[in-house]
Structure 1
Amino acid sequence: MQLSPFHLAIPVHNLNECRNFYTNVLNLEEGRNSDYWVDYKFFGHQLVIHFKPKTKKDTHTSLVDGKDVPVPHFGVVLSWEAFHEFAELLKSKGIQFIIEPYIRFEGQVGEQATMFFKDPSGNAIEIKAFKDMSQLFAK
């Protein structure tokens, strides 16, 4: 089966603040937009931020490799080199990480680089990479 780009829509409670974050902090290319939503090219996929008034929501985490991983979250798998370049970009822009970039499951099946951070609306984002992409779904 051929892989196709995915489409993901997420809610944001401040469209202008999040538009600045995705455009100027993450350096994503903006596509179509309106007063209520903005499309982004998210590493070859389509990410859409949609305005939604702020509500109180519970924060939940799941323990993975000794770290509290935020649930829900979304993200992408990059090449090993692109992951490290992107991590340096985020550090240079002062991103506050939920989980700093590190190697998860080191020396085990599924070894991967990972990092977690939030956008201004609190959406958790995971960026990860595998030295060996054949390990992506390894058990």
Structure 2
Amino acid sequence: MSRLTPFHVAVPVYDLDGARRFYRDVLGCAEGRSSDHWTDFNLYGHQFVIHLKSRPAVPEEHPTNLVDGHNVPIPHYGVVLEWEAWHELESRLRKKNTHFIIEPGIRFVGQPGEQATMFFLDPSGNALEFKAFKDMGQLFAV
């Protein structure tokens, strides 16, 4: 695999201060530049930005797609971590009493792409997935 470069993603949040606390204090992201309408974070080496948005009058619901017996929210975002880093994050999230919409576990056991994965929501309802492969070479396995 060639050297990866950081991605940039921006997501809407309804409470900038609450979202800042979540990404900083729960996920452990370092804060970067900010204004009264957005904040940059270092999400495992990637540029992640939260942007303040008005809360919709009718709550938005995530559609889902059935994957390995789970209703996976679409859209979602996250990072593929090293195996040990994933377990450290899982432990930190459990200590912070994070509600998982798909509990941490191993998917595709014994198949190409076997992975540890977990899904949860940020305070604005954005779906996050963090995953890890014991064999990172299996990231794009078919």
C-alpha separation between the residues in 2 aligned to 1:132 and 1:18?
A: 33
Give RMSD over aligned pairs. 0.8
Kindly provide the amino acid, as one letter, of the partner of residue 137 in structure 1.
Answer: F
**Mapping 1:78-117, distance limit 5 Å:** 78-117=81-120
Q: Please, which runs of 5 or more residues in structure 2 have no aligned partner?
A: none
TM-score of the two chains, using structure 1 as the length reference: 0.97
**1:58: Cα distance to partner?**
3.0
Identity over aligned pairs, percent: 59
C-alpha separation between the residues in 1 aligned to 2:87 and 2:132?
A: 9
- Residue aligning to 2:135: 132
Offset from partner CA, 1:88-110 (integer Å, 9 cap, x none): 00000000000111000011111
**Mapping 1:1-139, distance limit 5 Å:** 1-55=2-56, 56-139=59-142
Name the count of aligned residue pairs: 139
**Greater strand fraction, Structure 1 or Structure 2:** 1
Q: Please, which runs of 5 or more residues in structure 1 have no aligned partner?
A: none
Dislocated runs of 4+, deviation >6 Å: none
C-alpha separation between the residues in 2 aligned to 1:21 and 1:109?
A: 33
C-alpha separation between the residues in 2 aligned to 1:43 and 1:27?
A: 9
TM-score of the two chains, using structure 2 as the length reference: 0.95
